[in-house]
Amino acid sequence: MRFDAKRYASVDETRSGRVRRIYDYWRSKAPAGRIPRRAAIDPTELIDVLSCLLIVEIVGDRFRYRLVGTEVAANAGGDFTGAFLDAQKFANRDFYIACYRDVQARAEPIFGLDHWAYSDGRSGVAEFGMLPLALEGEAVAQILGVEDTSEIGAAGV
C-alpha cells in the first residue's frame, strides 16, 4: 500500500515531541529574524534525539546527506551518509527534493508526514521537520532534518 507524503501548513500540526524539540532548539539558536548558523548547533545538546537527525548539505542544485542518524538509517535499510538525494531510490525522493529546494529558497522550515511500506509488510510513518542553517551570511547552506518514526499497521494511518 502506498501513501503520499504531505506538508503541514505549520509546525502547529506536528504531534511529534521530537520534531517540536528540534524546532524549539533551532529557534533558540536563531538570531532575531535570521536563520541559525550551523556552528550554533551543538550535538552535545541533542544527545536524546541524535538518532533521528539528518544534516543535508546543499551542493549546487543537489542535496548530500552529511549526517544520517542511526534510527533514520535503520528505517531506510542502510546508512546513506555521503550520498546525494537524487541518486537514492527513495519512494518519495522527488517530494523530498522539492521540500529541500523550498527550504533553501525561502529560508523557512518545513514540516510534514510521510508513510511507507517495508518489504516485510510493516507500515512506517514519520513526522519530519526540515530547518535551514547558514554557514556564513544569510544563505541556506545546510538543512537540519528530523524524522520521528513509529511503526503502525495501515489501519492506524
Report the CATH number at residue 107. 3.30.450.20
With cell 529574524, the residue in question is: 33
1 within some domain: no
Average pLDDT value over all residues in the chain: 88
Q: Which residue range(s) make up the domain with 17?
A: 6-156
Residue pair 66/57 in contact by the 8 Å Cβ criterion? yes
* Chain-centroid distance, C-alpha 35: 16
Q: Indicate whether 38 belongs to any domain.
A: yes
Q: Has residue 44 been placed in a domain? A: yes
On whether residue 120 sits in a domain, the answer given is yes
Q: What is the pLDDT of residues 48-102, one digit of tens each?
A: 999 999 999 999 999 999 999 999 888 887 899 999 999 987 778 899 999 999 9
Amino acid letter at 18?
Answer: R
In a domain, 72, yes or no: yes
Each as own residue / partner, the long-range contacts of residues 81-88 (CB below 8 Å, 24 or more positions apart, any chain) are 84/59, 85/56, 86/62
pLDDT at residue number 105 = 97
Whether pLDDT at 154 is above 70: no
Q: Please check whether residue 102 lies inside any domain of the structure.
A: yes
| pLDDT of the residue at 52 | 94
Is 16 a domain residue?
yes
18 in Cβ contact with 49 (< 8 Å): yes
pLDDT at 89: 79
- Domain tally for the chain? 1
How much of the chain, in percent, has pLDDT values that exceed 90?
69
Q: Does the pLDDT at position 152 exceed 80?
A: no
